[in-house]
Every structure is written in structure tokens, then in C-alpha cells.
Amino acid sequence: MKKLTAKFLRQHNACAEAAEWARKNKLIGKGMKSVTDACIKDNHYKWAVWLLPHEMNKKNRAQFAVFCAESVLPIYEVKYPHNNAPRLAIQAAKEWLENPTKDNARSAKNAADAAAYTAADEATADAKNAAYAAVYAADIATYSTEAAKNAAYAAAYSAAYAAHSAPDEATNAAYTANKTEINKNIIQFGLDILSEEK
């Protein structure tokens, strides 16, 4: 996808709301940078992080997934400082990136399974999504675009849920600012990867 098309949105099962928004904002026919800039302007961060991995090769999708997971890992670790399963899943994904062997893919998958089991037991949505971001980052060794998309989406949700679950207004304001910064950093990292691929 050099330019956003209605066909691309249909083929990749974009949600109806995002497709309509793109049409209304005259983004059909625009390039990735224009589309992601519009997403940021209108606070549609999740749509931008959904879109980016579709243009990446497998290695870059894995790097993007790892970056997304690492971006929200502190949210999880603040709530569950003694559980390192998501961190281990991210590390396994990095090892696969360095050396994409079947053994490393298997290790990444096992670490992802452990982190998923952990996330299923955790109580808060923000922590669950941070853990799932790590799961999907590790899953990229076995799966491809879908895992990277899911890592990015889980990271965006984790940041959003953290902002909404803050105990008071001051903390909520800080989380909201941090959420915006996390999402912008993730989107910029994705754009940087795409510019390096050219």
C-alpha cells in the first residue's frame, strides 16, 4: 500500500468507523504519513498502529511488535513487579530477531504462552493488555502480520486503560499525557521502520 485505498481497507478488515472516517477526511489516495498524521490529529492512535504493520516485512513487524510491547511493559511491571513473564516473552522475541532459528521460534512461542497465561489471571485491563503486547511480540516468530498488529493494538489499549484506571484526577491527567506520548512514539517508530525499508 503506497497509498490508502478503499480496497486495502476492505481486504484487511478495517472497522467500519475507521473506513468511514478515512473517506470523510479524504484520506483515500493519501500516503502512510498523511494518514497517520490525521490519525494523531483526531486521536485515533489505535487506527494508526493497526495500519503500520501491513506495510512492513516480517523482521520489521517483529521489531515493531517488540517496540510496542516494551513501550507499555512498565504499566504491567508497576502493577505486577514480581512477574517477569511478559519481559521474558519480549526477550525471546528479541532473541528470535537476532537469530531466527526454529529453536528460538519455539522458545518465543513458549514464552508467549507463559505470558498469555499470566495475563489471563491478572485483574486490570491495562496490565492485561501490556502482557498481551509482549505475547504478540513473541508470537511474531511463529506468526506474522497478525501478531505485529495485535502487539501494537494491545500496546495502544494498555496505554488507554492505564489512563482510565488512575485513582485520582491528577494521576489520570499524568497517565493521559503519557498515553498520548506512548502512542505517538509507537507510530513514529513504525514510520521510521517504513522509511528505512525503502
Q: What is the pLDDT of residues 134-154, one digit of tens each?
A: 666 666 655 555 665 566 556
Mean pLDDT computed over 58-63: 82
Q: What is the pLDDT of residues 38-47, one digit of tens each?
A: 999 999 988 8
Q: What is the CA 96 to chain-centroid distance, rounded?
A: 18
**Residue 108 burial by CB count (10 A; 0-12/13-18/19+): exposed, middle or buried?**
buried
HEC per residue, 2-59: CECCHHHHHHCCCCHHHHHHHHHCCCCCCEHHHHHHHHHHCCCHHHHHHHHHHHCCHH
- Domain spans in the chain, listed from the N-terminal domain onward: 6-53, 57-197
Rounded Cα gap, residues 165 and 124, in angstroms:
8
